[in-house]
Every structure is written in structure tokens, then in C-alpha cells.
Amino acid sequence: MILRKTPSLQLSRFRVILVEPKIPENIGATARLLENYDVGSGALVNPKVEFKTGKATYLATGPSIERLKSLPVYDALEGAVEGYTAVVGFTARAGNTRKLSIKLEDIGKKLKSKVALVFGREDYCLSKEETQVCTHLCALDTSTKFPALNLSHSVAVVLSNLFLQDHASRRGHFALSTTEQMAPMFDHLREMLVQVGYKGSGNPDRVLEKLKKIFQRSELTKQDIALLRGVYSKVIFNIEKA
């Protein structure tokens, strides 16, 4: 038995739904993505191909095999979105009945409850009737020369974007510092300014305010702050020792 890890806070409220997929590899790849991004659940609407064995399993490896084989199947989209307060349909087609109403980068922050993410068929997306089930429609930005993405690639783009809306990089180097974390660095910087000769008539404070703006625009990480404070300490130490 494979133990499932607990879904992340951000994506546990999302469900990815594929409507009438007909390429098994797309279903397998999507199952893998559900695991990659700790998505709460997935579902299929009237799939046109076998997905629990064969080609779909080539792309769903490890724990995503279990996810693939447990995907619930519905006869219609209405059943798959039952219990979800927001239903976002992704479409590359335009028209009077397909007015876009939300941007990808706004989904995580504007839709706060349970959200279903609906992806249409490989060949002609969602039907008019299915878009009417959706509460929101969204399109992915791509080159106008060849705008249509592969189905599983579309799912990957959406989930990656949603994941990063609420997570720092797991590798740590994109974890930006907060204003609270920067405040002691500015105190330390002021101390260094005084030591190197910025004294009298509010001089260190005027310089500090200008330097603050530069640092605040620079999106410093916690590691950056530690490095800078190390430099300040070294400067202060050497001045005091002289």
C-alpha cells in the first residue's frame, strides 16, 4: 500500500477535471501532475480511452499510479463539479459565449473556496454547454502563431502557476524576506554608516532612507540579508579595532 502525503494547503481545495480525453498519455501525465503539486483531487468526464492500464501508466509513475487508477469517472461535467463553489473552464477558443472572466494569476487569490479546474478535449476544447456550467473562463497566454497547448501541458502550466502563488521555491533561493526581517538589517546598516563617518545633522538617517528604497526594490532573500549583515559587522569590527 502506498501512503499518500497530505495535500498542501493551497492546492488541496482544487480539483482538476478532464472532459472526454482521448489520448491515454494525457490522462497519465495529468495523474502525475496531481501528485507533483499535491492537488486535492482529479476527475474524468466520459473518457474516450482506457486509462487504468496501458499507455496512460507509462507517464504516471510511482505514487501517481495509485492516483491514476482511482480517478473517478462521471457521465457529465455537472456531476464532476458538484460541491465546488467556483468552476474555471480553460479555453483557447473565443466568442460571444466564451468571454474570459479571470486571469490565471488571479485564480488563487480571488477564488477562495473549493475550485474545479476544467480542461476540454484535445481537439475542440469545451462545448458551449460545458462553458455554461463554468462560473469563470480563462485562457493561457501563448504565441499567436501556435496558441493551442497540449492538454497535459495546459494542466502543468496552470498547476505550476497556482502552486507558486502560495509557495516559496522548495529550493529556498526564491524565499523573499519580509519587511520585519529587513528591519534589523537597516538598524545594522545605520550603525555602520555612523562608524564610517556619516554623523551629525541627521546625515546617517537621510542616507539610510535612500538606501532603504534601493534594498526594498531589490527583493532580498534571507540569505542576502545575512550576507549584508556579515559585511556590516566586518566593517564595524575593523573600524573599532583601528
Domain ranges of the chain: 11-166, 179-241
Fold topology of 11-166: Alpha/beta knot (3.40.1280)
Q: Are 89 and 138 in contact (CB under 8 A)?
A: yes
* Other beta carbons less than 10 A from residue 25's beta carbon: 20
CATH number of 179-241: 1.10.8
Q: What number is the average pLDDT over the span 111-124?
A: 91
Residue 7: band (very low, low, confident or very high) from pLDDT cuts 50, 70, 90: very low
Q: What number is the average pLDDT over the span 120-135?
A: 91
Distances in Å between the Cα of 188 and the Cα atoms of 180, 198, 201, 206, 232 are 14, 14, 19, 15, 7
Residue 175 has a pLDDT of 65
Residue 81 has a pLDDT of 95
Q: What number is the average pLDDT over the span 2-22?
A: 76
- Sheet with 73-74, strands from edge to edge, namely 73-74, 41-45, 14-19, 115-119, 86-90, 136-138
Residue 3 has a pLDDT of 44
- C-alpha cell recorded at residue 144: 499567436
Nearest 5°: phi and psi at 223? Answer: -65, -35
Q: Are 120 and 140 in contact (CB under 8 A)?
A: no
